[in-house]
Chain A
Amino acid sequence: MTKKIKLSELGSLLGGDIEALEGVKIEGDVEIDLGQMGMNPQMAYALGHETAQMALHLMNISRILGYPIDQVLGGQQVAAPKKLSKLIESKFSVGKIEEWKTPIQEVVLGATSSDGGSRKSTITLGGEKSLPYYFDSPMPHRNHITMDVFDMPINMAKAVKSNYEDVINSPAEWAKKVVRDFGADMVTIHLISTDPNIKDTSPAQAAKTVEEVLQAVDVPIVIGGSGNPEKDPAVLEKAAEAAEGERCILASASLNLDYARIAEAAKKYNHVVLSWTQLEINAQKELNRKLMKQCGVARENILMDPTTAALGYGLDYAYTNMERIRLAGLSGDTELNFPMSSGTTNAWGAREAWMTASPLKEDSDWGPREYRGPIWEIITGLTLSLAGNDLFMMMHPTAVQVLKEITQTLYGLKETEPLNIDNWITAVV
């Protein structure tokens, strides 16, 4: 049986004033406040450090008394602060992630004349073997941006609209403008006028618009329906036929419409299917599986849109959903390892992006909305780019420029003069 004594009595046992032991404070009976210590006591002892010797004695006694000193100390760290005269040499190293064994599927968008299309060049998405911009494995293809074009004038935030007023009635001119002036990698033609609740434009008429856009620009294109689940299959079928061989993205197949018809159109006319689900990883798996197994869409013809919610309006779900999908894909889930697309334009739905001022008097001043809108679109896209998104559907020219700049910087395309930041504290800014 061990004899029980109070730790406060240890002072006399040690024959010194333990309260004065720097870094070791004894309070009450058993509480040891370790303060800020970390030196290996054995080593300190060997070095003949006096306070460390005392600490070690103290520790041994405590151990004999049955006090769980090792657990408390996380093994055996105890020592008084010690002044070092030079830095401890060290090498930092960290491993790569072993679980990332499955690459993301590569998907080619657009087709040149040698492949039966009329695009000047193609774009490849996917192929990643790690999270974006990670050192584990370089990203094989940079991010790309497709800019929105609508087949009729629509309501837009003022900051967006001012860029398109001259082309708002002509999808072809609008498409030319985004490629020529704003550096769009691709163009998305949204056939929203086909919605029976809007203009109920016929599929044939919509297909004509698609032809016009294909003639106006030589980049790959995305063909978007109106979002009406009854009408979209017919519209996309007709549009796919008009764009035969161009490897357009058909947007979208979803679980709440007849996705098989869209899959069929993609197969028949050589296009890529955008598999769209709403912030639900299991639904995304299910739809991808159906497209592959039930509809026979080849893996290289599938792209996913797991839904983009704006910053402040569900971006947390969109971000985590995409990151989970990408991690699952890299770790071997072959129903999820497809490139991803984001409707980044959704950021403009956030009131912070377009409202003149906060509706709440309690808020600090929101400042001019002209500056809020583009940054809202940028940060929404940038966040998703870090989760693994490959293709961005965007709207505001400034947002496009900035997102391009940052994603291509992280990708490694941007060279700049090396900068010295060592004196940032004294910078006059």
Chain B
Amino acid sequence: MKVNSPLQVYKFLPQTNCAECGEATCMAFASHLIDRSKKVEDCPPILKEGFKKKYLELVTLLAPEIREITIGTGERAKRIGGDDILYRHQLTFFDPTALAYDVWDTMPENELVERVNKIQNFRKFYVGKFLNVDMIAIRCVSGDALKFAATVRKVSEITKLPLVLCSFDPAVLKAGLEVVKDKNPLIYAANEKNWSEVSELALNYKVPVVLFSSDLDKLKSLALTFGEMGIKDIVLDPGTYPQGKQLKETFERFIKLRRSGIKEGQKDIAYPIMAVPLNAWLVYKDTVTASYWETVLASIFTVRYGDIMILHSLEPYAMLPEVHIRDTIYTDPRTPVKVAPGVNEVGSPTKDSPVIVTTNFALTYYTVESDLSSNKINCYLAAVDTDGIGVEAAVAGGQLTAAKIKDTFQKANFEFKDKTSHSTVILPGLAARLQGDVEDVTGLRVMIGPPDSGRIPGWMEKNWPPKPK
């Protein structure tokens, strides 16, 4: 974006402090536009006739440096690109890397269906939500347009995930596009040879298109040419080489492309970037080795500027780290990492329910909370204010102490005598060394839980209710 202070944005707003956007003042709204937590369209007055000029100017000024494009339609449509920064602490990265997993047109139908379902049903619970993957990339291996079209049809019948149609043969792409022309698939790819025909497809079907060349001069040439022809929904594939010097050069191309777009404002090449970690399979045939290396490549290009990637391995040990590293890099560093300290009810606790202590680090808290609730354990869960630090580090660093624990229950007006029949508190296994202190300071019976909350159900079976003294 071309502006960086709320004051610059404020000049374009109605300045009436009407609060229709939900903010008390136009200045407050302006700061939300700068941090991109609100859109200009959230301001009803500016959309009215008299402000049209300012509205349009503001939209131009606020447009992200890297073009944001949409793939697919409906609820599962995915936006990619849209970034304004090179390092996440500067703001946050937008539009998480889209993870597309491949299928191919020579698969038997039952295997195809099974694979698509595995991709679209993948989910991993994490901090109050499920991590998922985003797209299906259909590779034309047969070279047969009809066969490809049939595969595209089958896949589109069983999934709403956006599709990437992969072939360098324009006739094959066209056959696929005919099947899903109303679903806004991404087509892969135009190169130096086929660019003319592929550009026609992109124009005629109005779909986003990938440009492929590992030579940045040629890639820019393609981007300029497509831009000139009026095609702007472009994704750049600068070639993902899986090993050796070629991989080092691949890494450098990603850095160069993104730097040119964001730091130098080279608009004509400021498009989302695609990585193809699948290429690990071109050199490693063993499933575990190839999956490991593919995950390594996926991680590098999640950290450094890949906006969409094509992957092959559906092994859990590949997909789990892939969705987690994507979440790691795209988590908004501006959102609080803590939950409010206090004593919360999980399920419907009674006087015989356990009272469990953890920290107010959001990740720790939600992990413990989900382990308890998903296992239907009714209890009280105390979030001690450790400045958002996890249990082990907080014990070592002195943020989780007996005094802090006592304080948490006091502030919440939680009287063990009234609320429980057992006057017992359960500490995390990683805080075992606080046992004596907590007994002294609170006068409660202190039990030591397991070091990981995932083991609370097993622990409960053995240890709860506590035996009378």
**Which A residues fall within an 8 A CB radius of B?**
23, 30, 35-39, 68, 71-72, 74, 79-85, 87-95, 97, 133-135, 197, 227, 229, 256, 278-279, 307, 309, 311-317, 319-320, 323-324, 327, 349, 351-352, 355, 358-368, 371-372, 374-376, 378-379, 382-383, 386, 402, 406, 409-412, 414-419, 421-422, 424-429
Contacts and interface: CB of A to CB of B under 8 A. Distances in A.
Nearest to B124: A363
Contact of B122 (A37, A80, A364): A364
Contact of B454 (A315, A355, A371, A419): A355
A92 B241 contact: no
A364 B315 CA distance: 11
Interface string B278-316: 110111000010101101100110011000000010011
Nearest to B239: A421
A311 to B, nearest CB: 5
A86 B293 CA distance: 38
B461 interface: no
Contacts of A87: 192, 195, 218, 221-222, 225
Contacts of A312: 126, 324, 327-328
Given A81-B230, A386-B303, A429-B312, A409 B220 contact: no
B242 interface: yes
Contacts of A366: 316, 320
A416 B244 contact: yes
B459 interface: no
B269 A92 contact: yes
B246 A38 contact: no
Contacts of A417: 244
Given A379-B299, A424-B278, A92 B321 contact: no
B300 A382 contact: yes
Interface in B199-225: 199-200, 203, 206, 214, 216-222, 224-225
A90 B220 contact: yes
A416 B243 contact: yes
Nearest to A31: B52
Contact of A375 (B218, B246, B317, B375): B317
A425 B139 contact: yes
Given A36-B231, A81-B229, A307-B393, A89 B321 contact: no
Nearest to B53: A68
B140 A426 contact: yes
Interface centre among B219, B239, B255, B337 (most CB of A within 10 A): B255
A424 B126 contact: no
Interface centre among A312, A313, A414 (most CB of B within 10 A): A312
B433 A197 contact: yes
Interface string B167-192: 11000000000000000000010011
Interface stretch (B25-33, B256-264, B410-418): B256-264
Contact of B317 (A88, A371, A382, A424): A371
A18 B452 CA distance: 68
22 contacts: A39-B229, A82-B228, A83-B196, A84-B196, A91-B220, A97-B263, A256-B397, A312-B327, A314-B361, A316-B88, A324-B89, A359-B455, A365-B316, A366-B316, A379-B299, A379-B325, A383-B325, A386-B300, A414-B245, A422-B191, A425-B141, A427-B141
Nearest to B260: A94
B146 interface: no
Contacts of B292: 374-375, 378, 402
Contacts, number: 276
B348 interface: no
Given A319-B328, A361-B374, 16 more contacts: A36-B231, A68-B52, A72-B60, A323-B87, A351-B454, A359-B371, A372-B316, A372-B317, A375-B317, A383-B303, A383-B325, A409-B243, A409-B244, A419-B243, A425-B140, A425-B167
Given A135-B252, A421-B279, A39 B320 contact: no
Contacts of A410: 247-248, 251, 300
A411 B244 CA distance: 10
Contacts of B166: 425
Contacts of B276: 421, 424
A22 to B, nearest CB: 9
Nearest to A382: B299
A404 to B, nearest CB: 12
Nearest to A85: B196
Contact of B282 (A229, A367, A427): A427
Given A360-B374, A372-B317, A375-B321, A39 B230 contact: yes
A406 B304 CA distance: 15
Contacts of A352: 320, 324
Contacts of A134: 252, 255
A95 B264 contact: yes
A66 B393 CA distance: 63
A367 B122 CA distance: 12
Contacts of B60: 71-72, 74
B221 A359 contact: no
A157 B242 CA distance: 31
Contacts of B371: 359-360
Contact of B260 (A38, A92, A316, A428): A92
A311 B325 contact: yes
Given A327-B87, A367-B316, A421-B239, A379 B296 contact: yes
A419 to B, nearest CB: 6
A102 to B, nearest CB: 17
Nearest to B299: A379
B317 A368 contact: yes
A30 B337 contact: no
B217 A90 contact: yes
A79 B328 contact: no
A88 B225 contact: yes
B342 interface: no
B454 A359 contact: yes
A354 B196 CA distance: 52
A314 B363 contact: yes
A37 B226 CA distance: 10
B6 interface: no
Nearest to A361: B374
Contacts of B252: 133-135
